[in-house]
Amino acid sequence: MSVDRSFRDSRHTGRLVTEPGGLADSLARVAGLQQRAEIRADLPIGGGSGAGRWLRCADLLDDPTLLDEWRARLAEWLRAEFGRAPARTTASYVMSWYLRVPAYAGALLLHHERRVPMLRPAELAVRTAAEGRPDPDGVTVLGRSFYCLPSDPGSARPEATVVADERALAEVLRARYVAHVSRFVAVYRRISPLGARTLWAGATDALDSCLWWAGAQGGTAESEGAGVADATLVLESRFAPLTSASTLRTTLDEHGRRVWTRRRESCCFSYLLPGADECAGCPRTRPRP
C-alpha cells in the first residue's frame, strides 16, 4: 500500500508571457500537455502566503526550517488519515516531492522540446497544495537560459547553448540535475533521518520516473514508449552518485497485457503506516543477489 500519488492532477489555467523561440515559449507549449502539476514560467505577484504559497528551491535549501515545516504539514495530514506519522515516512515523502521539481521540469522540456533548462535552485519554485495532503501542485521554471540541439529554432538566441546531439543533451540534463540534487542532499541529510545513499536513490527514482511520465501522459503506447526511450538515454547506465541505470521494464498486468513498470531504488516507508504493506517494486522486498 502507498499513499504516494506523485504530483496532484492540475490543469494550468493562467497565461504565460512568452518570447518567440525562448524558454517561456517552450513552457507555454508543455503547460497544456502535462497533467501532474501546473508548470509555468513566472511567479504570481505576491507568490501566495501560508500553505499553498510558491517557494523557490533556493529558499528551501537556504532555510531548512521551511523543509521542516513541509514535513510537519505532511505529518499532520498523516496523523489525521492514519493515526500516526513516522519520521522516516514524512522524510521520504518530502524528499521525493522536492526531487521531482527539478526532475519534472527537466524531463518535460527534454521530452517535448528537446531543451534542458539550467535547473538551478534559484531558478525553480514549487507550490504545495493549500489543503489536505501537501504534495506539489505547481512548478515554475524562472530561468531563461537553456541547452538545445543545432536544429532548435531558438539556437541562435543569446540564452541558448547548443550541444552536438541528443546524447549530449541527455548528458547535460543529468549533470544539471545532479548539481541541483547535490545541494539538496547536503542540506536534507542534516535535518532528516535519511542517509546520503537513500537520498541519491530517491534522486534516481525521481529522474527515471519523471522521464517516463513525460511520455506516458501523452496517453498512447507510442508516447509512453518515447518517454521510456528518454529515460534509457539519460540513464543508460549507472552514473554515480545516482544509484542505478533506468529500471524501466515491461511486465504483464492482471489482464495479461504487457505494461511498463519500474523497480524502485528508494523506499517511501509507507509500510510503517497502520495497515500498510510494502509497495510493489519496493527495494525492501527485492531478492538479495
Region of 6 (left: φ > 0; alpha: ψ -120 to 50; beta: rest) is left
pLDDT at 256: 84
Output the nine-digit C-alpha cell for 79. Answer: 496523523
Sequence-ordered alpha helix ranges (H) in 38-193: 57-62, 65-82, 87-113, 166-191
* Rounded distance between C-alpha atoms, residue 228 and residue 10, angstroms: 23
Output the nine-digit C-alpha cell for 249. Answer: 521494464
Q: Average the pLDDT over each of 116-130, 161-175, 233-247, 259-273 and give the range with the smallest value.
A: 259-273
* Rounded distance between C-alpha atoms, residue 9 and residue 6, angstroms: 9
Reply yes or no on whether the pLDDT at 75 is more than 70.
yes
This prediction has a pTM of 0.90
pLDDT in tens, 117-173: 999 999 999 999 888 999 999 999 999 999 999 999 999 999 999 999 999 999 999
